């Protein structure tokens, strides 16, 4: 029962927040969403300043936001 209450609280907090903390945002939002649509959910996401790195089983995508533009690299 406790687990259900904790899950409910977490879901309510996410709903109130209005978005997932790991969801794409900023200048690279559209590019990141397209990559997620193409490659599926990433195995890992890391953010460091204006650089977001997604890790998939098939490779790594790095998105660098600079003002209103986005640079992406896939390896």
Residue 5 located in a structural domain: no
Residue 2 located in a structural domain: no
Residue 15 located in a structural domain: no
- Domain span including residue 51: 22-74
Quick one: pLDDT at residue 27?
84
The dihedrals phi and psi of 13, each to the nearest 5 degrees, come to: -65, -40
What is the total count of domains within the chain?
1
Q: Kindly provide the residue ranges of all beta strands, DSSP E only, lying in 1-75, ordered along the sequence.
A: 44-48, 51-56, 59-66, 69-74
Residue 66 located in a structural domain: yes
Q: Are 36 and 43 in contact (CB under 8 A)?
A: no
Specify the pTM. Answer: 0.66
Q: What is the pLDDT of residues 8-62, one digit of tens each?
A: 443 444 344 444 545 666 889 999 999 999 999 999 999 999 999 999 998 999 9
Separation CA 36–CA 23 (nearest Å)? 10
């Amino acid at each position: 029962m406790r687990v259900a209450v904790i899950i409910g609280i977490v879901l309510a907090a996410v709903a109130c927040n209005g978005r997932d903390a790991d969801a794409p945002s900023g200048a690279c939002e559209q590019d990141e969403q397209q990559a997620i649509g193409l490659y599926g959910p990433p195995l890992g996401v890391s953010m460091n300043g204006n650089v977001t790195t997604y890790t998939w089983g098939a490779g790594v995508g790095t998105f660098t936001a600079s003002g209103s533009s986005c640079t992406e690299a896939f390896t």
